[in-house]
Structure 1
Amino acid sequence: MRILLLGATGRVGQRILQQALEDNHAVTALVRSPDKVTAVSEQLTLLRGDACCAADIDAAVGGVDVVISCLGTDGSTVLTAYTPLLIGAMQTHGVSRVVTVGTAGILQSREHPGLLRYEAPDTRRSSTRAAEEHRRAWELLAESGLRWTVVCPTYLPDGEPQGQYRVERDFLPDGGTSITVGDTAAFTYRVACDDEYAGCRVGLAY
């Protein structure tokens, strides 16, 4: 499979890159700083560029089978800037499958029907800016006609994959409080390879 990986230098992205190369997939990684990528493989193509640049994202999407994005808000409007560009490039090149990593804040609230978790009155968030960015990116994907999945982990500490966790469509598994970077990466990669959970957000927690 030919994978375009965005966010390959981040905590989740680095692990997905390693696993994809170990499984002998052809991976294109679009990164601003190629020197931050330590993986070496004949199956890896590093492109220097910016996901918020239309020309760079268009060049990266051509010829791939699936896009995996681990890009975060980065304290700015990265998600709302790059998502329309990614959708447009995928539509142009006939690529239909995209899996992104979001946040549990954009899952549905169990206690407050009709609200997302970050909107609920009992939210512990001091700021909703990042969640609002993730929400708009999800909404754009939902309107795109693509086969999208947004993986929504809860609190994300560093740690190796344990291999046992709970998954639920559109909601966070009841009582879930954390999920390691390792298991988040493993689940995101599996969903992209198996083409599971198309058209929904997926809550992920222990």
Structure 2
Amino acid sequence: MNLLLLGATGRVGKEILKLAERDGHQVTAFVRTPEKSGSKGPNVRLFKGDARNKQDVERAMKGQDAVISALNTDKTTTLSEATSLLIDAMKKENVERIITVGTAGILQSRTDPDILRYRSSESKRKSTAAAEEHEKAYRLLEHSNLAWTIVCPTYLPDGEATGSFRAEKNVLPVDGKKISVGDTAAFTYSQLTDSGYLRTRVGISY
């Protein structure tokens, strides 16, 4: 599979890249700083670009079969800008599948199902700026015709994959407190071959 991976220098993105390399996928790692990728595998192409640049995104999208984005909010509008450009480029190149890493804040609240968690009493956030940016990206995907999945982890400490966690559509599993970087990456990567969460958010936690 030809896979476009964004956020490959981040904590989750680096682990996804390792998994894709292991399985022999042809990976285009879209990065701003290639030296941070930590990968020089024969089936990895480092593509230096800006995810907010239309031409860069369109060039990176050519020949791809699927997209995984582990971009974070970067305390700016990078995530929503990049998501909009990715959607347009995917439509142009007839690429349908996109999996992104979001946040548990954009899942539905269990105490008030009509609102998102970050807007509810469930949230302990002091600032909602990052969650608001993640919501913008979610709404863009929601209104697209793409085969999207947004993986929404809660507190994300470093740690390897255990393979033992819970996943639930649109809400965080009951009493979910955390999930490791390794398990988040493994679950996100598994969505390339799992159609059980198409066009939905999925909450993951231990």
The alpha carbon displacement at 1:39 in A equals 1.2
What does residue 151 of structure 2 align with?
A: 151
What does residue 167 of structure 2 align with?
A: 167
Kindly tell me: are residues 122 and 160 of structure 1, through their superposed partners in 2, closer, same or farther at Cα, counting changes over 3 Å?
closer
What does residue 58 of structure 1 align with?
A: 58
The alpha carbon displacement at 1:90 in A equals 0.2
Structure 2 unaligned runs (5+)? none
The alpha carbon displacement at 1:78 in A equals 0.8
- Quick one: distance in 1 between partners of 2:101 and 2:178? 15
The alpha carbon displacement at 1:122 in A equals 4.2
- Quick one: distance in 2 between partners of 1:110 and 1:122? 8
What does residue 203 of structure 2 align with?
A: 203
The alpha carbon displacement at 1:194 in A equals 2.9
- Quick one: distance in 1 between partners of 2:167 and 2:156? 15
Give deviations 1:112-169, integer Å, cap 9, x for gaps.
1201100113421101110010001000001010000000000000001111000000
- Quick one: distance in 1 between partners of 2:55 and 2:195? 27
The alpha carbon displacement at 1:195 in A equals 3.7
What does residue 17 of structure 1 align with?
A: 17
The alpha carbon displacement at 1:79 in A equals 1.1
Contact kept in structure 1, 2:32 and 2:49, CA below 8 Å: yes
What does residue 73 of structure 1 align with?
A: 73
The alpha carbon displacement at 1:36 in A equals 1.0
- Between the two proteins, the alignment pairs up a number of residues equal to 206
- Quick one: distance in 1 between partners of 2:46 and 2:79? 21
- Quick one: distance in 1 between partners of 2:196 and 2:4? 18
Q: Does 1:39 align with 2:39?
A: yes
- Secondary structure in 2 aligned to 1:151? strand
What does residue 6 of structure 2 align with?
A: 6
- Quick one: distance in 1 between partners of 2:47 and 2:59? 9
What does residue 98 of structure 1 align with?
A: 98
- Quick one: distance in 2 between partners of 1:180 and 1:11? 10
The percent of aligned pairs where both chains have the same amino acid is 53
What does residue 29 of structure 1 align with?
A: 29
Structure 1, 38-47 or 88-97: larger mean CA deviation: 38-47
**TM-score in terms of structure 2 length:** 0.98
- Secondary structure in 1 aligned to 2:160? coil
- Quick one: distance in 1 between partners of 2:87 and 2:122? 34
